[in-house]
Amino acid sequence: MSKFLVLCLGNIGPEYADTRHNVGFMVGDYLARKHDAAPWQLGRHAFTTEIKHKGHTYVLVKPTTYMNLSGKAAAHWLSTLKLTKENMVVVTDDLALPFGKLRLKAKGSAGGQNGLKHIQETLGSDEYARLRFGIDSSFSKGRQVDYVLSPFSADEQIDLEGRLEKAAEAVLAFGAMGVERAMNVVNVK
C-alpha cells in the first residue's frame, strides 16, 4: 500500500474559511468528507486526517502556519511520515488560471505563490507535485490581496462543488497513476 502526503494550502481562522486563497483547504475538506475520514486532528504545524482509496493512503494536511510558512508543515510531515517529496502533492490556488481550471505539474516555479515559495525554500527544491486550482484574476490593479482573501462570487459558488470534486479526483489520480500519467488526464480538461 502506497502512502501520499496531500498538503492542502490555506490560512487558518474563520475570517479566511471561504476565501479563494483557501481553496486548498476546501479540496482537503472535500476529500475528507467524501471518503468518511476521521475528524481532523491538530498536530504539529497542521490539522491532519487520512483517507484510503484503491489501496492507497492519503494523509491530508492543512497547515496551521499560514500560507507564507507552508514549508514548515511540508518538511515536518514528510519527515514524520517518512515520505520523499515524490510522494507529496501540494494543492493551492492560482490567479493565472481561470476559475476552476486545474493544472497538475511535477515541478516548477512558485509562480508568485508565497506558500509554494516557502515550500521550495524549505525543501531546497522545486521538484514536487503541485495541483493548481484556478481562482481567476478578476481584480483591479493593486487589489490582489483583497481579491484572494474574499469569497468566491455567487456565480462561482454555483460551480464550486463540482470543481472541488474534479480537484479531489486529480489528487487521487496522482496517487493511483503517478504524476506524469495523472498530468495527461488532469491537464487536458
Reported as a single tens digit per residue, the pLDDT across 148-173 is 999 999 999 999 999 999 999 999 99
Cell numbers for 61: 494536511
> What single-letter DSSP state applies at residue 107?
S
Question: What's the length of the chain?
Answer: 189
Question: For residue 49, is pLDDT > 90?
Answer: yes
For residues 9 and 88, what is the distance between their CA atoms, to the nearest angstrom? 13
Alpha carbons 36 and 103: distance in angstroms, whole number: 26
pLDDT of residue 189 exceeding 60: no
pLDDT in tens, 71-96: 999 999 999 999 999 999 999 999 99
Q: 51: which 3 cell numbers?
A: 483517507
Question: What is the rounded CA–CA span in Å between residue 167 and residue 170?
Answer: 5
Residue 137: pLDDT band with limits 50, 70, 90: confident
C-alpha distances (whole Å) from 69 to each of 12, 65, 94, 101 are: 12, 6, 17, 25
pLDDT at 144: 84
Active site residues: 21
Alpha helices in the chain (DSSP H): 23-34, 70-81, 114-123, 144-148, 154-177, 179-186
Cell triple for residue 100? 476552476
pTM: 0.95
